[in-house]
């Protein structure tokens, strides 16, 4: 897999909600930004189609696909049976016929019935065929906690897929990234697991419809600092920003990095930051054992060992099944747990 994909051309006149050419920057929640990105992809390429449970007239559980079936028709926005393995298997067949399917998994914990299709077939077919064909399939996965839901609705299964060669794995943390990254993912000729942090669906942020997208697999410094580097993806980026504000009040300068891509990982900005600060804290909602955070901690320890003045620390969910909703705040890392790790690395 190449480290970057070309950025699809986007017309601000058609991308902006309402079709207003003047609306080049707009405050939107992530659900609306994703909707606009999907609409643009559908408009740009007749081979793009959406598939998933209740994504048609209902617009999906989170309303990400609201209005798209009415605009593009039932052949382009397809309500499927409740059968994740069937959805992914059908998408694989469509990709072999030249289509670019985008599958919605209704909740993170529902992805496991389709796991074999994703890891045994979708991830391997291009290699199995010696590159004779590609698999331009995007699988959208609403994931993570902080929504007070029941079992199988608040999980963070991204490490399973980042571990699987042949899959690209990305996660936006802002509405602007969501708008651009979903289009880049659809334009990719490789299968992309697109993890959408549910708890960030509703907070608004600026979406620059006439802007330029960052490369799909580029990590990014979102707050500069000099004392310690903290890194996360998805919803945890907002938590790190809260911790950075608290630390600033205590005289500690924190640099925050948004990972954005979990596979491949863009280590350039990470290593540059750690070389400057000498300290790294990696945070995630997922359980810590054999996780994305584990891999990043190990790689930084290997490649920046002589720059580190303290051990790399990880802040994660606990190594237990996700608890009932009333206990989710005990399981999920918050700014206080991040600050505890920052205090520990600053003590060296």
Q: What residues act catalytically?
A: 153
Q: Among 265, 348, 337, 253, which residue's Cα sits nearest to residue 303? A: 265
Token readout for 92 is 């694989």
Q: Within a 13 Å sphere around the CA of 216, how many CA atoms are in the beta-carbon half? A: 26
Give the integer Cα–Cα distance in Å for 102 and 139: 6
Give the integer Cα–Cα distance in Å for 285 and 316: 5
Peptide bond into 24 cis (omega under 30): no
Q: Among 121, 293, 264, 116, which residue's Cα sits nearest to residue 188? A: 264
Q: Among 151, 78, 57, which residue's Cα sits nearest to residue 110? A: 151
Give the integer Cα–Cα distance in Å for 284 and 320: 14
Give the integer Cα–Cα distance in Å for 130 and 134: 10
Q: Among 97, 118, 117, which residue's Cα sits nearest to residue 47? A: 97
CB count, 10 Å around CB of 165?
Answer: 10
Longest CA span, the chain: 60
131 exposed, middle or buried (CB, 10 Å; 0-12, 13-18, 19+)?
exposed
Whether 64 contacts 200, CB under 8 Å: no
Give the integer Cα–Cα distance in Å for 290 and 300: 16
């Amino acid at each position: 897999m190449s480290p970057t994909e070309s950025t699809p051309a986007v017309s601000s006149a058609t991308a902006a909600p309402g079709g207003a050419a003047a609306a080049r920057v707009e405050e939107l929640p992530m659900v609306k930004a994703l909707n606009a990105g999907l609409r643009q992809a559908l408009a740009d390429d007749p081979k793009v189609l959406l598939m998933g449970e209740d994504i048609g007239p209902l617009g999906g559980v989170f309303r990400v696909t609201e209005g798209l079936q009415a605009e593009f028709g039932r052949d382009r926005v397809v309500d499927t049976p409740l059968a994740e393995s069937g959805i992914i298997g059908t998408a694989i067949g469509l990709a072999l016929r030249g289509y670019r399917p985008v599958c919605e998994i209704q909740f993170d914990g529902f992805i496991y019935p389709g796991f074999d299709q994703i890891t045994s077939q979708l991830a391997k077919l291009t290699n199995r065929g010696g590159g004779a064909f590609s698999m331009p399939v995007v699988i959208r996965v609403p994931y993570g906690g902080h929504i007070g839901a029941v079992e199988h609705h608040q999980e963070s299964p991204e490490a399973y897929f980042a571990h699987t060669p042949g899959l690209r794995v990305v996660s936006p943390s802002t509405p602007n990234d969501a708008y651009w990254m979903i289009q880049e993912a659809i334009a990719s000729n490789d299968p992309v697991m697109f993890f959408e942090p549910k708890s960030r669906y509703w907070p608004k942020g600026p979406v620059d419809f006439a802007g330029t997208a960052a490369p799909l697999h580029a990590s990014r410094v979102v707050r500069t600092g000099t004392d310690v580097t903290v890194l996360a993806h998805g919803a945890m980026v907002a938590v790190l920003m809260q911790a950075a504000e608290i630390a600033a009040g205590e005289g500690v300068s924190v640099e925050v990095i948004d990972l954005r891509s979990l596979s491949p990982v863009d280590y350039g900005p990470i290593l540059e930051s750690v070389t400057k600060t000498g300290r790294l804290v990696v945070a995630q909602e997922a359980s810590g054992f054999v996780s994305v955070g584990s891999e990043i901690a190990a790689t930084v320890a290997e490649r920046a060992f002589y720059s580190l003045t303290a051990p790399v620390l990880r802040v994660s969910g606990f190594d237990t099944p996700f608890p009932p909703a009333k206990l989710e705040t005990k399981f999920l890392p918050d700014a206080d747990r991040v600050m505890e790790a920052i205090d520990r690395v600053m003590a060296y």
